[in-house]
């Protein structure tokens, strides 16, 4: 047996210097190793993906970069190309105004929807980014009426009357909500409708014959401008209406509950194209003879109803995801129904519902192209109608529909990226 009585144990008294990680684990090489070449199957999928990207770009880039922009017809474009690969993008440079503003919108008024589009970002900025001054919300409240006056023109008394109706409705709601939320809600709606009904006769009587901005009828609206109008207005209106329907479906009042249930289930069970045909044809049979109900307004009503039913179900899912303790906490604080919903329940439910709401909003914006079925010349309607029907550009498809896809992708991708940023900003569960 070995003698260990005189052995001395060694204990290091200084700290070893920190060594750099291996070069294969950091930087670009490390990232590629962990994300692109992490095993046999990962390497095979990466190589297959690189081949697919090369195959697509090798055919697309020559067509894109070798395109022609300065001809007046498809025949001239093909003569310039001489059989080489390239797109006939001259249709975009020649018909850009029709693609954006429609076929009959007056050219001298192009500045008006352009200004309204730029001001849209100013109006939604304080809603989307909480770090901006809250005083900017005043312009946000004014913007819908200002944009209407810019795009449609006519007398300024009409948007002022619309604004007055909302103000009167809000004042009535503030006065009656202390008695009950339902009385305040429906009282505000009645006050607003009466203001618009009575004020309409006054506006018709005192409106000047020659307004400052020339009036543009709705039948002259078209192009991507029409898609933007329908998308922005319908999404903006469907979110508060969807919240009201979701709350109504959970109401303890049976009449309110079943009205909301029937509305949601009926609208969700009907295709959107059917509702658009109803707006275009059937709705006129239920109006008094000689009544002129603007087609864009009818389409906005139907699309808003369709989207609000889906948003109501999304928000109902968010409400159901909240633990019962949140409702009990609101009751223990002595809050009434409106206060508990505004301060405690809805902020949490809406945060949970952000992905679903964005999904409905993106789908709704793309579905605005369905109005071309009812002879409204939106972006797709302009491509399928006046442009492709012309002898100069009959046969140009990839360039036009690719341009339409690019515009819709930019808008939808922007909405998606903002929603992801908003989710990160509102994240409270530190994982």
Cα 179 from Cα 158, distance rounded (Å): 33
pLDDT digits (tens, 9 = 90+) for 330-369: 888 888 777 788 888 888 888 888 889 999 999 999 999 9
Cα 208 from Cα 221, distance rounded (Å): 23
- Burial of 390 per CB tally in 10 Å (0-12, 13-18, 19+): middle
Q: How many CB atoms lie within 10 A of CB 178?
A: 11
Residue 3 reports pLDDT greater than 60: no
Tell me, what's the pLDDT at 346?
86
Quickly tell me which residue has 């933007």 as its tokens: 228
Rounded to the nearest angstrom, the gap between the alpha carbon of residue 322 and the centroid of all alpha carbons in its chain is: 26
The mean predicted confidence, pLDDT, of the chain is 85
Q: Do residues 185 and 179 make contact, with C-beta atoms less than 8 angstroms apart?
A: no
Tell me, what's the pLDDT at 428?
66
Tell me, what's the pLDDT at 410?
94
The torsion of the CA quartet 308, 312, 315, 320, rounded to 10 degrees, works out to 180
- Sequence spans of domains, the chain: 23-65, 217-431
The residues with which 378 forms a beta bridge, in sequence order, are: 223
pLDDT digits (tens, 9 = 90+) for 236-255: 999 989 998 998 888 888 88
Q: Could you tell me the CA-to-CA distances from 99 to 233, 269, 348, 378, 406 in Å, in that order?
A: 20, 33, 41, 8, 13
Cα 71 from Cα 253, distance rounded (Å): 66
Q: Could you tell me the CA-to-CA distances from 423 to 113, 115, 410 in Å, in that order?
A: 32, 31, 20
Would you state the structure tokens that stand for residue 260, as one six-digit string? 């909301």
Domain 217-431 has CATH 1.10.3720.10: yes
Rounded to the nearest angstrom, the gap between the alpha carbon of residue 410 and the centroid of all alpha carbons in its chain is: 12
Whole-prediction pTM value? 0.85
Q: What percent of the chain has pLDDT over 70?
A: 95
Tell me, what's the pLDDT at 414?
92
């Amino acid at each position: 047996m070995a003698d260990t009585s005189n052995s001395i144990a060694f204990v290091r008294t200084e700290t070893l210097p920190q060594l750099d990680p291996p070069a294969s684990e950091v930087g670009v090489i490390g990232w590629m190793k962990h994300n692109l070449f992490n095993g046999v199957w990962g390497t095979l999928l990466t190589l297959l993906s690189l081949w697919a990207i090369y195959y697509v770009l090798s055919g697309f880039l020559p067509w894109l970069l070798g395109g022609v922009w300065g001809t007046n017809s498809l025949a001239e474009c093909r003569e310039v190309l001489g059989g080489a690969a390239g797109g006939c993008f001259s249709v975009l440079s020649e018909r850009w105004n029709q693609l954006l503003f429609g076929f009959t919108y007056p050219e001298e008024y192009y500045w008006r929807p352009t200004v309204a589009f730029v001001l849209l970002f100013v109006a939604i900025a304080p809603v989307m980014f909480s770090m901006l001054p809250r005083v900017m919300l005043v312009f946000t409240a004014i913007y819908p009426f200002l944009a209407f006056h810019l795009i449609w023109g006519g007398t300024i008394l009409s948007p002022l009357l619309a604004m007055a109706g909302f103000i009167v409705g809000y004042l009535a709601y503030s006065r009656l909500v202390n008695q009950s939320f339902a009385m305040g809600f429906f009282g505000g709606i009645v006050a607003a409708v009466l203001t618009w009904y009575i004020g309409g006769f006054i506006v018709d009587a005192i409106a000047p014959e020659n307004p400052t901005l020339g009036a543009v009828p709705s039948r002259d609206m078209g192009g991507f401008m029409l898609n933007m109008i329908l998308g922005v207005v319908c999404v903006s209106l469907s979110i508060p209406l969807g919240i009201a329907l979701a709350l109504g479906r959970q109401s303890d009042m049976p009449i309110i509950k079943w009205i909301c249930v029937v509305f949601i289930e009926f609208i969700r069970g009907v295709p959107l194209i059917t509702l658009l045909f109803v707006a275009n044809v059937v709705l006129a049979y239920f109006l008094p003879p000689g009544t002129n109900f603007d087609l864009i307004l009818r389409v906005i009503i139907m699309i808003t109803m369709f989207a609000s039913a889906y948003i109501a179900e999304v928000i109902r899912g968010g409400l159901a995801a909240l633990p019962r303790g949140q409702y009990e906490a609101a009751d223990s604080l002595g809050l009434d129904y409106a206060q508990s919903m505004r301060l405690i329940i809805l902020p949490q439910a809406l945060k949970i519902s952000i992905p679903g709401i964005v999904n409905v909003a993106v789908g709704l914006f793309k579905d605005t192209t369905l109005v071309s079925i009812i002879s409204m010349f939106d972006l797709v309607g302009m491509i399928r109608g006046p442009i492709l029907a012309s002898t100069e550009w009959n046969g140009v498809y990839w360039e036009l529909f690719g341009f339409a896809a690019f515009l819709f992708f930019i808008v939808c991708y922007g909405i998606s990226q903002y929603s992801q940023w908003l989710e990160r900003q509102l994240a409270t569960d530190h994982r």
